[in-house]
Amino acid sequence: MIAEDLFDLAPVIPVVVLDDAGAAVPMARALVEGGLPVIEVTLRTPAALEAIERIAAEVPDAVVGAGTVAGAEDAERSAAAGARFLVSPGRTPRLQAAMVATGLPFLPGVATASEAMALLEDGITAMKFFPAEASGGAAFLKALAGPLPRIRFCPTGGVTPGNAADYLALGNVGCVGGSWLTPANVVRAGDWDRIRKLASEAAALRPA
């Protein structure tokens, strides 16, 4: 799998912050059943790596990745846990080298034309646009399509059910990412029907 393949699997990548690894498998099943098989578990909680391990082992239809990959060690640990892709809020040369070394597809974060061009020089054409709304939103990406036509973005950060369609309508947007699919209180309550419904509404943003 290359990073661009992620874009073909689902229009929305749920960005998940999990406090309890025990919730990982039923949450992932609900997302997959709702039509969102690509799941980003952020490395922001002590439970994250175990959550990735459990989803990788027990939910074969999910494509689980690690998010908030901010250092070389994060990339290595995520790969060892079974992550199938990596997402970073930004990009440094060391981090990029570590992500390349895992052999996994990855989406490095950019927020300016120069950052995107630096990645293009290395042959990287799939990127996260972060923080999307604070960095100019859909209008910014639309403006980049002319000068940088080869790049496809996954905007994340401030993306909501209200603006996701505006991003997905752009030719240079492969998918969007967001945390609205898995609200902390809903996950804590184990309300998987609610997660399934949120996922199916998001999956319908770009009919298969």
Catalytic positions, written as ranges: 40, 128
Q: Which of 91, 179, 198, 203 binds ligand 3PG (CB under 6 A)?
A: 179
CA 117/CA 186 separation, integer angstroms: 39
DSSP string for residues in 123-147: T--EEEETTTTTTTHHHHHHHHHTT
Binding to ligand 3PG by CB under 6 A, coded x per residue (else -) over 127-146, reads ---x----------------
CA 112/CA 58 separation, integer angstroms: 38
Put residue 149 in one of left, alpha, beta given phi > 0 → left and psi -120 to 50 → alpha. Answer: alpha
Nearest in space to 143 (alpha carbons), one of 173, 176, 106: 173
Q: Which of 15, 32, 151, 173 binds ligand 3PG (CB under 6 A)?
A: 15
For the chain, the first-to-last Cα distance in angstroms comes to 19
Nearer to ligand 3PG, 105 or 177 (CB): 177
Q: Which of 35, 71, 136, 158 binds ligand 3PG (CB under 6 A)?
A: 158
Residue 187 in the binding site for ligand 3PG (CB under 6 A): no
Binding to ligand 3PG by CB under 6 A, coded x per residue (else -) over 57-76, reads --------------------
- Would you tell me which residues interact with ligand 3PG (CB under 6 A)? 15, 130, 156-159, 177-179
